[in-house]
Amino acid sequence: MFTTSVNSNHSNDSSGNGTTTTSLLSSTTTVTGSSLSSGILDDGDNEQMLQQQFEYIEKLEGDVGRLQKDNESLNDKSDKHADTILSLEKELAIQRSRVYELERQNSNFQTATKEAYIEKEEKEKELEMRLASKNKELDELLINIRYMSKNEQEAKKKYDDLLEKTQQEQRNNDMKIKSLEKEKLRYRSDVANLKHKNSFGLEMEASSDSKDLVIESLESKNQSLVQENTSIKNRLDQTIKDLVEAEKLIEIFQQQILSKQKQDQSQSQLQHQQQLNEQESIKKSLQREVTYYSEINQKNQSKLMELENQLKGVGNSEMIKQENKTLKDKLSRFEETITKLNSLQVQYNTMAEEKQSLEKIYGQIDSQNGGLESFHQKIRELESENQTLRGKIGELTSNLKLSESHNNDIETLLKESKESCNLLHTKISNQDESINRLNKQVYLLKKERDGIKRILDAFDVEDRVVIKKENENGGGSGGDSSPSTVSLAQKMERINELERAVLEKDRLIEEYETTLSMRNSILDQKDDSINYKLEFEKLNQEIERLLQDNAILESRLGRGEFDQTKTKVLHMTNNPTSMLLNQNQSNHQPNSISESKLLEENNGLRIQISENDKKMDRLKQVFKLKIHEFREAVYALFGFKIDMDTNNLYKLQSMYAEKESDFLIFQRAQSSSLSNDKKVGRMELMETEFTNTLDKEVRAYLFKCKCIPAFLSQITIDLFSKQTFHP
């Protein structure tokens, strides 16, 4: 009766804790079942049965050793996964530090570019004001010429000659303007080529650490250029002083002229000619100085271009900052030179007006004719100076555009580094999920191992009890075969129950093996289309359900539930099974310690994963807000709503569009060749209904001039003019 109770309890343990076992248990249990069935026929073959049971126990111990080896291999795999996760976390930290540095540099560059934009706008406004004042002066000069031409009707021949000369000069000016426009187009093409070349300079940023000596040499050259510029400033100050002295001399001459107006006309003419000669000499000296300073500026620009080429070879962010500073210094210096030139022009105009007043006083026609020629010369000089100033303004704008291209390239690098960080985050999340799965598998295998140990302990206890009973009974109970037959029948029932449990465990093992093989194949293929999180949640739910069932069964066993139809329980005072169970629990303590450590590590890893998920969610929210703000700013500033498609397509719709179908589509050109006329700046215009309605003049900006911004601005102007009223 005692043996039957133990058998029933252990059968319940095996059914409650039976999640996975090896496939060998089914074959061995059938052998023992056959041996026990033969034991029912012969009561005297107990020794053979015991030997078979010992063999069965040895086989089970071998299976347990194999399971322990599998457990160790799984532990090794989990350690390897943990090492890989640590290495990935280190790489993540490095990438984050790089991203923070690049963001900081990007913010600095953005502030610098904004300041440069503001300064550029202010300077353009000042230059426009100056040009307007110069145009007014030119208009005044033309009015004076017309007034003097009306007074000179008596000298028609000379007047006709002057008109012919002016017409020829206008033709020459038109020819010069056309040549200058051609030069502007050529300069624009050169600027586009330079921008295209500057894009290749970013590839050399990786070798910036090995070029510190080149940077030092460039800094020394910059210092030398600064010294030269200071010397040029000193020379300009000297020229200004000379001009002030010249003004003083002019005032002295004027006073002398006023004091000697009563003298003879011959003497006044001589003095006037001397003054004119002196003015012409001063003018020539000023022109020489201007040409000298222009040559020095050209030399400085050539040196600066060499420095920029060397800086492109170096490709360091600090050198880009220095370039921006040098460009700002150049702008300030050019402003000073322009102001000085304007002051000189104003002085020259005042002197010319004084000359005209003197010629009117003396009333000589010859001197008047000479004055008209000098006016024409002044107009030519002013036009040439305006052209030089426009050329300088174009150079300054090209330098600013180069700096903008550098900043845009740096922003692309930032985006690429952020994308790499996102890929690393995804890899780390996949590794964490695989580690959690392996930990759960280890936990299940440990439970399986404990169940097998309990089964083996039950077999040991049964064998000992049987041996004790046989020793106590001895040979006296040979005639009574009823208890032995009952015990054998109960053992057969228990063997059948164990076989059922083993079959269920084999089925579960096959299911888990198939799922593991499928998951490993999926991880090797790296299929991003599968939703790992949903699978992870489903598996967690199944594991929780199985753990709850196991806990329920264990609680029933702990309360002493059993099948009353099959078993009867006898409660003994000195139960040997309780002693064996205590020994097993004492032996099981180190395993429980290791399990507690593993659980603590798993909890720590889960906390880290949750923190990383929170950080990623926050970053995603911040990125969404920034992207939304950027899109709204682009829509408000440039008037186009930009939508991006997966196939490198960019949809642009104007805020002044009359219909929803009025939109443009650009596609990024993958090939480097730009032989097609529609490919402009690595972008290709796709045909839509709205593009077919555009005028030829608007299309010329894109296909002839190859300028997308001008094309878009012309479209906005046309749509705005259609929808608004101009007074």
- Per-residue confidence band for 543, with pLDDT thresholds at 50, 70 and 90: confident
Q: In terms of domains, do 371 and 350 share one?
A: yes
Q: What angle do CA 682, 688, 694 make, to 5 degrees?
A: 90
pLDDT band at 110 (very low <50, low <70, confident <90, very high): confident
Task: Give me the residue label for tokens 């900006």.
Answer: 701
Q: Is residue 179 part of a domain?
A: no
> Pairing relation of β-strands 679-680 and 683-686?
antiparallel
Token pair, residue 146, equals 């017309």
In this structure, is residue 577 part of a structural domain? yes
Q: Number of structural domains, the chain? A: 3
pLDDT at 190: 67
What confidence score (pLDDT) does residue 629 get?
92
pLDDT tops 70 at residue 645: yes
More confident residue, 253 or 708: 708
Can you read off the two tokens belonging to residue 114? 């904004």
Please check whether residue 100 lies inside any domain of the structure. no
Does 226 reside within a domain? yes
Q: Rounded to 5 degrees, what are φ and ψ at 679?
A: -85, 115
Spatial distance between the Cα atoms of 498 and 317, rounded to a whole number of angstroms: 74
pLDDT at 185: 75
State the Cα–Cα distance between residues 559 and 576, nearest whole angstrom.
Answer: 19
* Domain end call among 351, 377, 408: 408
Read off the CATH number of the domain in which 708 is found: 3.30.457.60
- For residue 22, pLDDT over 70 is answered with no
21 CB neighbour count, 10 Å cutoff: 25
- Find all residues with CB under 8 Å of 650, minimum gap 6, and list them: 642, 643, 644, 665, 666, 667, 668, 683
Residue type, 566: K
* pLDDT value, residue 409: 76
One-letter amino acid of 110? Q
Shared-domain flag, residues 327 and 466: no
CA 137 from centroid of its chain's CA atoms: 53
pLDDT tens-digit map of 400-422: 777 677 767 777 777 776 787 77
**What is the number of other CB atoms lying within 10 angstroms of the CB of residue 152?**
16
> Which string of DSSP letters, residue by residue, matches 221-250?
HHHHHHHHHHHHHHHHHHHHHHHHHHHHHH
Would you tell me how many other CB atoms lie within 10 Å of the CB of residue 700? 14
Count of Cβ atoms closer than 10 Å to residue 518 Cβ: 10
Question: What is the C-alpha to C-alpha distance for residues 225 and 214, in angstroms, rounded to an integer?
Answer: 17
Q: How confident is the model at residue 626 (pLDDT cuts 50, 70, 90)?
A: very high
Tell me the C-alpha distance between 456 and 319, whole Å. Answer: 76
Q: Are strands 640-644 and 679-680 parallel, antiparallel or unpaired?
A: unpaired
Q: Are residues 306 and 334 in the same domain?
A: yes
At which of 363, 380, 408 does a domain end?
408
**Statement to judge: residues 561 and 707 lie in one domain:** no
**DSSP assigned state of 687:** P
- Residue ranges of the alpha helices (H) in 260-316? 265-314
CA–CA gap between residue 297 and residue 389 (Å, rounded):
13
Q: What is the pLDDT of residue 256?
A: 63
In a domain, 172, yes or no: no
Mean pLDDT for all residues in the chain: 71
Q: Could you tell me whether strands 664-668 and 679-680 are parallel, antiparallel, or unpaired per DSSP bridges?
A: unpaired
Which residues are 668's β-sheet partners?
Answer: 683
Report percent pLDDT > 90 for the chain: 3
Q: Do residue 384 and residue 347 come from a single domain?
A: yes
| Rounded Cα gap, residues 599 and 591, in angstroms | 12
Flag the least confident range among 216-230, 332-346, 468-482, 699-713.
Answer: 468-482
Strand arrangement of the beta sheet that strand 679-680 belongs to: 640-644, 649-654, 664-668, 683-686, 679-680
Strand-pair category, 649-654 with 683-686: unpaired
Q: Which helix (H) or strand (E) holds 396?
A: helix 365-473
Residue pair 312/203 in contact by the 8 Å Cβ criterion: no
Residue 496 in this model has a pLDDT that exceeds 60 = yes
Three-state DSSP state, 435 = helix
In the beta sheet, which residues pair with residue 684? 667, 679
Of the three residues 358, 377, 408, the one that is the final residue of a domain is 408
With H, G, I as helix, E, B as strand and everything else as coil, classify residue 666.
strand
The reply to whether 521 and 581 lie within a common domain is yes
Identify the pLDDT of residue 591.
60
338 in the same domain as 196: yes
C-alpha–C-alpha distance, residues 199 and 191, integer Å: 13
Cα 203 from chain centre: 16
Q: Which range marks the domain in which residue 493 is found? A: 2-95+427-473+481-619
pTM: 0.24
Q: State the pLDDT at residue 669.
A: 73
How far apart (Å, rounded) are the C-alpha atoms in residues 724 and 658? 12
Q: Are residues 606 and 706 in the same domain?
A: no
Cβ atoms within 10 A of the Cβ of 384, count? 11
Do 370 and 444 lie in one domain? The reply is no
DSSP reduced 3-state for 654: strand
Tell me the β-bridge partners of 641: 653
Say which DSSP state 389 is in: H
232 close to 293: Cβ distance less than 8 angstroms: yes
For residue 269, being part of any structural domain is answered with yes
Q: Over range 625-631, report the average pLDDT.
A: 91
Q: Are 401 and 198 in contact (CB under 8 A)?
A: no
Beta carbons of 14 and 451 less than 8 angstroms apart: yes
Helix/strand/coil (H, E, C) string of 308-347? HHHHHHHCCHHHHHHHHHHHHHHHHHHHHHHHHHHHHHHH
Question: What sign has the CA pseudo-torsion 378, 379, 381, 386?
Answer: positive
Give burial (CB, 10 Å; 0-12/13-18/19+) of 315.
Answer: buried
Q: What is the mean pLDDT of residues 450-464?
A: 73
- Whether residue 499 contacts residue 33, with contact meaning beta carbons closer than 8 Å, is answered with yes
With 60 as the cut, is the pLDDT of residue 15 above it? Answer: no
- What separation in angstroms does the CA of 45 have from each of 306, 355, 379, 463? 106, 148, 136, 15
Are 492 and 540 in the same domain? Answer: yes
Q: Write phi, then psi, for 653 (nearest 5 degrees).
A: -130, 125
Nearest-10 crossing angle of helices 212-259, 317-362: 10
Expressed in angstroms, the distance from the first to the final Cα of the chain is: 114
Locus of tokens 């022109």: 287
Predicted pLDDT of residue 525? 54
> What tens digit of pLDDT does each residue of 508-521 get?
777 766 776 676 66
pLDDT at 489: 63
SS3 650: strand
| Site of tokens 């133990």 | 6
Which of 15-24, 402-411, 612-621: highest mean pLDDT? Answer: 612-621
In this structure, the answer to whether residues 370 and 282 fall within a common structural domain is: yes
**Which helix (H) or strand (E) element contains residue 679?**
strand 679-680
12, 485 Cβ separation under 8 angstroms: no
**Secondary structure class of 672 (helix, strand, coil):** coil
The tokens for 370 are 């000479």
If 0-12 CB within 10 Å is exposed, 13-18 middle and 19+ buried, where does residue 99 land? middle
Does residue 680 lie in a domain region? yes
- Give pLDDT, residue 408: 77
Is 238 part of a structural domain of the chain? yes
Which has the higher per-residue pLDDT, 588 or 114? 114
Q: Are residues 79 and 120 in the same domain?
A: no
